[in-house]
Chain A
Amino acid sequence: MVPCIEARSLNLTFTPKNRDPVTALQGFDLQVSKGEFLTLVGPSGCGKSTFLNGLLGLLKPDSGELSLNGKQINGPGQERAMVFQEFGLLPWRTVLANVELGLELKGVAPLIRHERARELIQLVGLESFQNHYPHELSGGMKQRVGLARALATEPEVLLMDEPFAALDAQTRDLMQTELLQIWERTKKTVLFVTHSIEEAAYLSDRVVIMTARPGRTKNVFKIDLPRPRDYEMRLTPEFNDIKATIWSSLKDELGTKAAGNGI
């Protein structure tokens, strides 16, 4: 079976504004199956976000292979959509118009895209806010809009770049559970990036630990918790064992990074 997403000995460099290019990924390998919820965890700057931008088609690999359903990724496409950490909502557009953005760029007729956007706004529970502007919404609501916008184009793969990092702890817990519910209903392939071990363990089928920069795959953990999962599961000893295992793999990388930076 062809994996949905495949990266093989991938090298990716990116150039921060006014700085020298940085090798973010070197010899990176990853396979994600269709319908899987996979999370990348690694030290800051290990290339997690760079990888998502590569998958999204905004960055080109220097060498190696990066493919979706067996086809080389060449720029953005409808099968992929990203939920951004900083939301990335257009401030001059209402919730409805923001959710419609992808459909509009695809050239979908106004009536059809209104209807489709309304369905998704309902899915994320923002019916009564569809004519509000982003600045009138809370962080959690903004990210719901971000999620609805990504789902609106019916992508096969949902890329989520630390989507809940800017939210407060309670909103974050709530959004995680809602995301799982939506994922179970829509059965998308999700590639999720986070710094939180707890979040990774709670959401994922598999958690991939990455090394410090340049990022490679260090360990892959299969999370054998039953689904559907709920918040109480996070209070069990099994869940704590999983967290401890992931932490023991991750902590060496954090050390290397700190040593490398002379902190």
Chain B
Amino acid sequence: MAFKSFFSDYQRLLLGMVSVIGVVLLWELVFTYVIPLNPFFFTKPSLIAAAFKEQLVSGTLWKDVAISSKAFLLGFSLAVIVGIPIGVFMGWRRRAEYTLDPFFTALYASPLVALAPLLIIIFGVGLTGKVALIFLLAVFPFIFNVFAGVKCTDRLLVNVVRSFGGREKDIYFKVILPSIMPYIVAGARIAIGRGIVGILVTEFYAASEGIGFAISRFGDTYRLPDMFAAIMVLMIMAVVLTEGLRKLETFLTPWKTGQEAR
């Protein structure tokens, strides 16, 4: 009985762990006993783990992670700072919407990674070029999500604040900003994915350091276990960011908890 209730309490965690461990184990076993492994074309978990450990010890991994994270955080923060006000402005002022919308829609729909060569010509292969591309990729989800959020702002609440003598500033800070918070979080989720693509593209294309550069260099030299270790690190970074965002969401929008099934 006790076991049963333990299982039902933790079944999400348990089943998740079983599935991950199972897949890794299967991968390892298949390439150990069934298909002979050709190390030029593929690799297996035990080799990746060894490569990962070596990179950790030698410190090259940390350096790459730090370099890429810095570019990501700068570009992403810039996207937040620029994207949210533009989205609010477009959503609240109809003329701003009509003026800016065609331009931004075209940019959001286009594969902006096509601009990577241009950005590198302008800003060089260093930090600035990376930040510029990450910013360009991450800013549009913020603009359009915030824009949609402002459009969905409850007019009644705006009238309530007005009726109690609220000014334009109060409407922005007491109604619009809190009501777009869930939209900002949803935008951030998309922006994280796009921002990571931005890191990879710039570092694949022209860089001498960073996690994207590590992946492409290991690939070029057929060091597959090392390459997979670097990819794994990138995955961990993405998961940490997304999970962090989820925590941030419950902190930023406490009134939402319990309102929807999770």
B178–A105 touching, CB < 8 Å: no
- Tell me if A84 is interfacial: C-beta within 8 Å of chain B: yes
Contact B259 A135 (CB under 8 A): yes
> Which chain A residues in 79-130 approach chain B with CB under 8 Å?
80-82, 84, 86, 88, 90-93, 101-102, 105-106
Query: In the complex, what distance in Å separates the CA atom of A88 from the CA atom of B156?
Result: 6
Complexed CA–CA distance, A134 and B174 (Å): 16
> Contact flags (1/0) for B235-262 with A, using CB distance below 8 Å?
0000000000000000001110011000
Which residues of the partner chain A approach B157 to less than 8 Å between Cβ atoms?
Answer: 88, 90
Contact A88 B253 (CB under 8 A): no
Instruction: Choose from A56, A84, A102 the contact partner of B156 (Cβ within 8 Å).
Output: A84
Interface of A is mostly: loop
Size of the A side of the interface (Cβ < 8 Å), in residues, is 25
Contact A101 B253, beta carbon cutoff 8 Å: no
Residue in B159, B175, B179, B259 whose beta carbon sits within 8 Å of that of A58 in the complex: B159
A153 at the binding interface (Cβ < 8 Å) = yes
1/0 per residue, CB under 8 A from A, across B175-187: the answer is 1001101000000
Asked whether any CB of chain B lies closer than 8 Å to the CB of A76, the reply is: yes
B166's partner among A80, A82, A88, A105 (CB-CB below 8 A) is A105
Q: How far is the CB of B256 from chain A (nearest CB, A)?
A: 8
Alpha-carbon separation in the docked complex, A78 to B165 (Å): 7
B163 interface residue, CB < 8 Å from A?
yes
**A199 smallest CB distance to B (angstroms):** 22
Contact with A along B152-163 (1 / 0, CB 8 A): 000011011111
Q: A86-B156, A102-B164, A105-B164 are in contact. List 5 more A-B contacts (CB 8 A).
A: A76-B162, A90-B157, A92-B255, A93-B255, A133-B254
Residue positions of B touching A, CB distance < 8 A: 156-157, 159-166, 170, 174-175, 178-179, 181, 253-255, 258-259
A to B CB contacts below 8 Å, 13 in the list: A57-B163, A78-B165, A81-B164, A88-B159, A90-B174, A92-B178, A101-B160, A101-B161, A101-B174, A106-B164, A134-B255, A135-B255, A136-B258
